[in-house]
Amino acid sequence: MATMNAAEALTAQLNSLPDYLRPEPAVFDQLLASAGKLRADGGIPDAQRAAVIYKLQDAAAGYGDEPPPTSVRFPADHRMHLKCGNEWYWVACHFDATGPDGLPVRIAVLLDMLRFRLISTALQAEIGWTDAECQLVWNAVTVTVSGLGGSRIHRRPLNVQWAKTGGVVQFPDDNGFVYRCGPDVIVGTPDVLPLNVVVDDPSMFLDLQLTTDMPVETSFFLQGREGITPAPKPGIYYSWPQLKAQGAIVVDGVSYAVKDGSAWIDHQLMAPSIPTGPTPHKSIDGWNWCEFNLANGEAFTAAAFQSDSLQVNPLTPYGFYLRRSLDGRTWKPVRLIGGLAMDQLIPTLHQVMQATSWTYSATNFPDQADAAPPFDITVTTAPWIDDGSFETADLTVPSEVAVSVAVVNKASALVTGAPLGLAVTGVGFCETVGWEPWGAYQPRALNFLKTGLDG
């Protein structure tokens, strides 16, 4: 059986693309040239170049992956689906803490450990690589510290790992739940929880423990439709809200005395639908998403989608309000629909414009007769810091802004502990993904492949 190194395999992967999935010739030639320079000992820089090459394939990203599952089965689906692409575990935590000066601070932690398949299953079969060798993994971490003197965001330097350029990755399997990206690792049980999160870098050290007061095997809820998301980005999706969090946090050499906090975990597999013929390129293809853990033990999540041009008042066609079952063992989600109002757009990393204010309005989805009387709520957010942007391995710039929230109940007593007109407070994150126009991203990414300089 033939064997290939990283440069040969990624070059072969590009050459396997049908003509209609290839970028324009000048771009494609540069991708080939960059792929041919990858080294087996290239470490993080070459792994990052591979990530940028993958992103610049655009419509072909995911070509040769297997289709995602059409139903979920646990605990097996807590493990990774290595023949499909893109997949991540996303962890958010909020803590009260004390700084070295004895003053109180709030700390928010956001970790996004994502893997995707660089090499198609067909090419893999030819060259004899393992599933793990075909994956690139990155871990992006931001820590927001907010106190009386203001707020500051700390970004972990990029951690990008590909085994074929000398990186270290590990995935959950039958022997246990271990998901590793170089020195950073999340370790759990077959049912994920309790979960230990370690980020080990000179810029920050995090050692966090996440637990639940619900039965572990029923402590998550199924997003989408029974855990399945439809085309054009089919996959599986589910979340653990209202987790208990504790641990140790050191940022830029400063250690914080951390009190118990709250957390949220997402596990999502998002496999893009590969077009069957030429398709026009979308200038913008992204979303706005949020998760809020509320002080009454309930939770809220919603998403709006952005396509071609930015909308600052988009419809929010997707969301859930989460309440516990009467016995407290499971989550009872109510599907929501509503609107999102955004303003105060500011330039963030690489001058990507992002919102700094989000107000959600929502009611229950019309087909839920058992949700009467209807929900009518407004969720107002207060950001801890305006700019929550960071850079992923492929140079894209998402934003995760830590927020405090107030949920005002305007129609019924469905929001526990919130009589009409009063609010329940909480904390969470407001997420922005895919807001940079392709016409701005592509030349920046191509320049990185030519020069190795990011900017």
Domain assignment present for 386: yes
Q: Let me know whether 371 and 288 are in one domain.
A: yes
Say how many domains are in the chain: 3
Contact 156, 40 (CB under 8 A): no
* Cβ contact 221:62 at 8 Å: no
Of 180, 62, 35, 45, which Cα lies nearest the Cα of 118? 62
Check if the beta carbon of residue 340 is closer than 8 Å to that of residue 304: yes
Co-location of 174 and 160 in the same domain: yes
User: Is pLDDT at 108 greater than 90 in this prediction?
Assistant: yes
pLDDT mean over 198-223? 98
pLDDT value, residue 232: 82
Structure confidence at residue 58 (pLDDT):
87
What's the whole-number mean pLDDT along residues 188-210?
A: 98
- Same domain? 154 vs 266: yes
- Could you read off the pLDDT of 215-263 as tens digits, one per residue? 999 999 999 999 999 888 899 999 999 999 999 999 999 999 999 999 9
Question: Does any domain span residue 41?
Answer: yes
Q: 194: pLDDT confidence band, cut at 50, 70 and 90?
A: very high
**Residue 418 DSSP code:** -
- The verdict on residue 1 lying in a domain is no
Are 327 and 293 part of one and the same domain?
yes
Task: Say which CATH number the domain at 97 has.
Answer: 2.40.370.10
Q: Are residues 56 and 85 in the same domain?
A: no
Domain boundary residue, one of 250, 274, 298 = 274
**Mean pLDDT in residue range 129-158:** 96
Whether residue 79 lies inside any domain: the answer is yes
In the predicted structure, residue 372 carries a pLDDT above the cut 60: no
| Burial bucket for residue 150 (CB in 10 Å: 0-12, 13-18, 19+) | exposed
- Picking from 64, 94, 111, the residue at the C-terminal end of a domain is 64
Cis peptide preceding 194, ω within 30 of 0: yes
pLDDT (0 to 100) of residue 226: 95
Q: How high is the mean pLDDT of the chain?
A: 93
Helices (H), 197-247: none
My answer on whether 363 and 433 are in the same domain is yes
pLDDT in tens, 393-417: 999 999 999 999 999 887 665 666 6
pLDDT at position 415 is: 66
Do residue 15 and residue 149 come from a single domain?
no
| Position 421 pLDDT exceeds 80 | no
Which pLDDT value is given to residue 216? 97
| 300 and 246 in a common domain | no
| pLDDT (mean) for 272-284 | 82
Gyration radius of the chain's alpha carbons: 22
Query: Residue 17: inside a domain, yes or no?
Result: yes
CATH code for the domain of 349: 2.40.370
Q: In this predicted structure, what is the pLDDT of residue 367?
A: 65
For residues 154 and 58, membership in a common domain is answered with no
Domain assignment present for residue 198? The answer is: yes
Q: What is this structure's pTM? A: 0.95
Position 132, amino acid: A
C-alpha–C-alpha distance, residues 229 and 192, integer Å:
21
Range(s) of the domain holding residue 380 = 280-455
Residues near 416 by Cβ (< 8 Å), separated by ≥ 6? 296, 297, 298, 323, 424
- The reply to whether 229 and 188 lie within a common domain is yes
| pLDDT tens digit sequence for 29-87 | 999 999 999 999 999 999 999 999 999 998 898 899 999 999 999 999 999 999 999 99
191, 324: one domain? no
Mean pLDDT of 300-311: 94
User: Is residue 351, in this structure, part of any structural domain at all?
Assistant: yes
pLDDT at 370: 55
Mean pLDDT within 286-309 = 95
Q: Which of 64, 81, 97 is the last residue of a domain?
A: 64
**Same domain assignment for residues 100 and 26:** no
* Residue 320 belongs to a domain: yes
* pLDDT grade for 427, boundaries at 50, 70 and 90: very high
